[in-house]
Structure 1
């Protein structure tokens, strides 16, 4: 039997199967959650001139001073300040010519147009934001593959751009597979279970801008699976749940073969999630995830999300791994990489007692996965362990 792929080998092979999608141009305000397809280069400097960082007075030379005008946001002082003169200035206003420091209003005493110092003389350049200190015209501010969040939207607009180049949204179809699945959770017979994996996986992908649809539940027949694949024929990614293992009724592999898809790899050395299947048909990638909900969630997190980020143009599509202190002893592991449902509280992560791959209650309570290397020894409480965040809050 073919050896199981390691997690890293499987992730690399999956990402190599597909190229990022074609580019499109969007208004900056509509780009939240997308990834840059080309660098952002500043068309202007920020700030465009020397500005005051405090409310006070722009002063010329040593005092006392005579106030000759005002500089405020959007209305700079147009003249030149000479020794013994001052201009009232607001935070963010342009520094008048002839001034090299700001006297903040807490350190000043004003009587009519006369101004005097009540504290130590400010140093040259104090309380001044120099032109271009944030960024200069022509500077590359963000590279291709950068995730566009709220701060990035502000930066792109501040750079002087109103449009941005990103990638098209991936089109994803989720297919629930299995004779035991009921479409209506309120009308579920004793021999059935409500179909929930497709909705769970769609929700898992919701933070990545995608065009999604769900098909199923689909019966365990080659013809029904073939019809489902045909219905998903315009998708960039097809994600199935169930039917990818070795049972008599696990028909995803033969159904894909009949449909013309080629299996790239099957089975990965992880727990839960061993019977992961990856195939391709022309430009389409098919992810066959296990039917047990925890296995489906874990493989969706480790494989589906990185692929969607890759299709969307992410520079770093793999999930971020953190280190936290183990809240209790962790047992030794076997020959597969293990992912334990756990709860992070502060800087401590504690695995839940229930780790069965069908246990949805424990999965819903968890906000993290503890990664345990294959063939590793027992870990004592207080030891740092690698962790993936799967839920905030």
Structure 2
């Protein structure tokens, strides 16, 4: 089977990836969830004209010059409307958020007045409408202020509450199950024996999925047998996972049994080799409604492939409007060699010059097993297939890695 281009592989993974079902959740549970419906205001904000400052509600015509003296006829506090009309030569003490009394059309701030008993003198002339928040200046009943498909930020929750929504309709979180394979893997905190390594991939994969809004299931590490691998696949299916991620066993060695086990369980594979570096031995298929992505075992390949393919899939199933990563342009911080038929994703440090220009400097070593260099990188430099050698200062496309 020929190597599949990256764009084709991503298209295959996203094919039919419609948003999952919706559910109603309380506002406190809606942070970073994706809206399943537009949200319209249930009320007008503010519902009436209100004072924006502490001061006095007056008729602007009565306070147009500094010789004015006005009689104070009462007080208006937030939540306690004034029951009288402001007449000629009158004023009412008012506090921020107080409803503007009938007859008044301006507020003179407290600092611009001098009070003597029930009379005030002004030190700055009033202007009609000044220091008043008109009814509906923020929004009006029926205004759609939150659109379906946005990922709710903290400010969005405050807005939804102000619009009088105690709950919101959001898409269900995708459930991502992670299964590692490999007799050589031992858990962190143990002492590896000869030829053993500490298992690390799953921690990054689950964190990456959770950061995108998914729920995760840790299926642990399966031994290098068909029986153990198929047991893990079945546990993922029985858990109701929307996505199964396998890590390791995706290449063509005699002990790489993931492809064999997936096919034995009825998974139809769309591809199992991609024209990219790192990450050529990657698989994708489906088992009923569950989508399967088989990642390479090398930790850098595993992470880069998950970032490029798993993240957009989670976003699509979550109902997000913005599914794809955003490419940016940077200047190379060092020379880059010519490329072969595989699309390269070079781990790179990203810096911004004083003029705003981004500089992307590939890290010293690009080996797919070197986690230290991955952790030091802030982005990926994309080198298309058969790209010629590029000199320092050349323009390149980059993807930012999560902070």
2:256 corresponds to 1:250? yes
Q: What is aligned with 1:79?
A: 84
Q: What is aligned with 1:45?
A: 44
Q: What is aligned with 2:12?
A: 13
Kindly state the Cα deviation for residue 85 of structure 1 after the two structures are TM-superposed: 2.1
Unaligned runs of 5+ in 1: none
Change (3 A) 1:116 1:202: same
Local SS of the residue matching 1:267 = coil
**Match of residue 381, structure 2, among 357, 361, 370:** 370
Of the two, which has the highest radius of gyration?
Answer: 2
User: 1:137-161: per-residue Cα shift (whole Å, max 9, x none)?
Assistant: 1111222211112111111111111
Kindly state the Cα deviation for residue 332 of structure 1 after the two structures are TM-superposed: 4.7
**Match of residue 308, structure 1, among 314, 327, 336:** 314
Kindly state the Cα deviation for residue 104 of structure 1 after the two structures are TM-superposed: 2.4
Kindly state the Cα deviation for residue 107 of structure 1 after the two structures are TM-superposed: 2.9
User: 1:188-211: per-residue Cα shift (whole Å, max 9, x none)?
Assistant: 113011111112201111223433
Q: What is aligned with 2:120?
A: 115
2:182 and 2:262 mapped to 1: Cα distance?
A: 16
**Match of residue 291, structure 1, among 280, 291, 297:** 297
2:133 corresponds to 1:129? yes
Q: What is aligned with 2:172?
A: 168
Change (3 A) 1:187 1:324: same
Q: What is aligned with 1:358?
A: 369
2:39 and 2:207 mapped to 1: Cα distance?
A: 31
Change (3 A) 1:105 1:59: same
2:163 corresponds to 1:159? yes
1:123-272 paired onto structure 2 within 5 Å = 123-233=127-237, 234-272=240-278
Change (3 A) 1:108 1:293: same
Unaligned runs of 5+ in 2: none
1:330 and 1:79 mapped to 2: Cα distance?
A: 78
2:172 and 2:102 mapped to 1: Cα distance?
A: 48
The question of whether the paired residues in 2 share the 8 Å contact of 1:175 and 1:216 is answered with yes
User: 1:291-315: per-residue Cα shift (whole Å, max 9, x none)?
Assistant: 1111111111111122122222212
Kindly state the Cα deviation for residue 172 of structure 1 after the two structures are TM-superposed: 1.7
| Mean Cα deviation higher: 62-71 or 290-299 | 62-71
Give the TM-score taking structure 1 as reference length. 0.90
The question of whether the paired residues in 1 share the 8 Å contact of 2:2 and 2:273 is answered with no
Kindly state the Cα deviation for residue 327 of structure 1 after the two structures are TM-superposed: 4.3
1:319-330 paired onto structure 2 within 5 Å = 319-324=325-330, 326-330=332-336
2:350 corresponds to 1:344? yes
Aligned length: 390
Change (3 A) 1:162 1:220: same
Give the TM-score taking structure 2 as reference length. 0.88
User: 1:269-304: per-residue Cα shift (whole Å, max 9, x none)?
Assistant: 332222221100110000111111111111111111
The question of whether the paired residues in 2 share the 8 Å contact of 1:102 and 1:127 is answered with yes
Change (3 A) 1:148 1:224: same
Q: How well do the aligned residues superpose, as a CA RMSD in angstroms?
A: 2.4
Kindly state the Cα deviation for residue 261 of structure 1 after the two structures are TM-superposed: 0.6
The question of whether the paired residues in 1 share the 8 Å contact of 2:209 and 2:216 is answered with no
2:94 corresponds to 1:89? yes
Local SS of the residue matching 2:24 = strand
1:14 and 1:337 mapped to 2: Cα distance?
A: 18
